[in-house]
Amino acid sequence: MSKRVINFNPGPAALPLPVLEEIRDELLNYKGCGMSVLEISHRSDTFTSVIEDAEKRLRRLMGLGDDFTVLFLQGGASFQFAMIPMNLLGGDRHADYVNTGTWSTKAIKEAKIQGKKINVVASSEDKDFTYIPGEIEFTEGATYVHITSNNTIKGTQWAQFPDTGGIPIVCDMSSDILSREIPVEKFGLIYAGAQKNLGPAGVTVVIIRRDLLELVPEDLPTMLKYTTFSEKKSLFNTPPCFAIYVVQLVLKWLEETVGGVDKIEEINRQKAKILYELIDSSDFYRGTAEPNSRSVMNVTFRLPTPELEAKFIEEAAANGLAGLKGHRSVGGCRASIYNATSLSAVQTLVDFMDGFAKKNR
């Protein structure tokens, strides 16, 4: 068996090693039931305990009150781009969107396809989405304000969430959920594909304030309504059972091994700090996001030439540092340092980058 690499992939991304080991140990016979977790019925008491524990842990970690419903859905965050306006913008309702790049752009497109009334109230397109807009004027009477909390491709992140004057924020939090403490009272809906900080691809967590469920039109197709899943506790049809099981284990790891969101936030900020310090102190590497908008999860950077970038990625991989190639739409390099990526792993990357720069000036 070949040695495991240090995984800097942007998603599907690294999972905590203790979680992978627990999956391995339980795979053939889950909790003594004589079956794999891949085989048990989603209607069984065994799986009910899994999904209920996952929800309870998520509620504790995020500080969610009873005014929020937690759903485990399929289709990825990309499906939510369409499902959110479909469910919340019936009749004459309208919403504000802030465009900070690829994922925000896709969300805007999906709302417009449906003919929904949306206002793009701010955008960072003028500087190729390298910053997060400030001083935004939101529209009176908007049903929600949609933002993407972290842009994996451009390496930008909302350091503070906007003051919307009480309009609920709807947030794509796929790439930084549970990486830092957040003011949950600002949000009406949070959604996140699991494959970055929560677990494997295949399940999407949707956290929705209960009063917003009252906006869901009755005439939507059954499988496109949030109420279908809220009324059946995510078990209207067969959910992605294995993915939910892994999410439960990741949440247990974060809660019991790491010690909670405040503890992982400290670690995440240390990881980002040493990586950005190396980039900023070098005349060889160049960060691509504006400093006050930099992501703590996805560190994007360039080298002096595309040829050196290709060499960097190749040599890093040969040294057990995987997944450092930038997104195909922008090129360059990117280190995704999600919760499961340790401080020591990032220090190993920093040491490699320092040595590579010295050898290739």
Which residues does the annotation mark as catalytic? 103, 172, 196
Before 12, cis peptide (omega within 30)? yes
Structure tokens at 169: 């924020």
Distance CA 358, CA 49 (A): 54
Distance CA 43, CA 190 (A): 26
User: What angle in degrees, to the nearest 10, is found between the helix axes of 343-359 and 306-318?
Assistant: 130
- Residue 196 DSSP code: T
Q: State the DSSP string of 30-64.
A: GGGSSS-TTTS-TTSHHHHHHHHHHHHHHHHHHT-
Distance CA 6, CA 317 (A): 9
Structure tokens at 59: 């509620």
The set of residues, in sequence order, having a beta carbon less than 8 Å from that of 264 and lying 6+ positions away, is 178, 179, 180, 254, 258, 339
Distance CA 71, CA 351 (A): 41
Strand 156-157 versus strand 286-287 pairing type: unpaired
Half-sphere exposure for 99 (CA within 13 Å, toward CB): 18
Distance CA 96, CA 138 (A): 7
Q: Report in angstroms the alpha-carbon separations of 114 from 90, 169, 248, 290.
A: 11, 20, 35, 34
Q: Contact at 8 Å (CB) between 37 and 27?
A: yes
